[in-house]
Amino acid sequence: MDTTNITRNELIVVTKVWSTFHTRERAFENVKMELQDLQFDYSDFGLIHFPISITPHESNPREYFTYSANGSIQTPYPQRDVGYLEAWRGLEAAERLGLVKYIGLANFNIHQIKKILSVAVIKPVVVQVECHPLYRNDKLTNWIKGHNMSVMCYSPLRKCSPELVNNNVLQEVADKHKKTVYQVSLRWNMQRGNIVIPRSFDKSHQKENLDSLNFALDQQDMDKINAIPQLQKIIYPGNLLPISMPSHPDYPFGEDDDN
């Protein structure tokens, strides 16, 4: 920002409370730590990154994991629905003090969002989940919007996987509008009323993504894309963490996850 004309009010900044900060006090400290790193006075959105809680490192609060003697990640809350509820109270305190403008959740299932709503003084305004044409996530996203919260879609291009890039339906719609499969995928999500956050470090790709704002899909296009056979999620906490996490009591993607 020191070398451009961009000002803070032109940015939308999202910060997240990591899984080792799942107490009221530590969640609040996590918000302050990230703002200090960014050298900002506030973030626009503060989210709980995962409902999964992990034991904090004894000496280094920035360490993502604490390991047991057998090499597994230590999880401090054997009971279900404990840690993330405490973290939510810390986020509420951060919003009340103006450190974040709005607060929300990421990677939560319906059961877990209901638990948050049952104790929340400040209601979540947004829930960040995976959503793209090959994983519409309809049940969860429709439920979120039906409860007056916004859906923020990560991996809206499925990490540019071959299954999306080479999809015949998406290519057919792209050819019709003289756009790319990426632009069609982003436009489809936006016309469903979702916020999309594609990631790219390449300026040409960033411009390509922005151009998805400059056209519209008709209902026939939307119907064709909505009929694409669905695949599994591409992002799981177990893919991101050093070990598999499905045994955690708050693992959000189990058989009864409602998403």
Give tens-digit pLDDT for 90-141: 999 999 999 999 999 999 999 999 999 999 999 999 999 999 999 999 999 9
More confident residue, 255 or 249: 249
Task: Give the span between the Cα atoms of 72 and 52, in whole angstroms.
Answer: 14
What tokens appear for 215 in the block? 């056209």
Report the binding-site residues: 49
Domain 11-124 indexed as CATH 3.20.20.100: yes
Report the binding-site residues for substrate: 49
Give tens-digit pLDDT for 179-210: 999 999 999 999 999 999 999 999 999 999 99
Q: Where are the domains of the chain?
A: 11-124
Task: Give the span between the Cα atoms of 45 and 55, in whole angstroms.
Answer: 25
Q: CB within 8 A of 198, min separation 6: which ones?
A: 156, 157, 182, 186, 209
Task: Please state, rounded to an integer, the average pLDDT across all residues of the chain.
Answer: 91
Contact predicate 209/198, CB 8 Å: yes
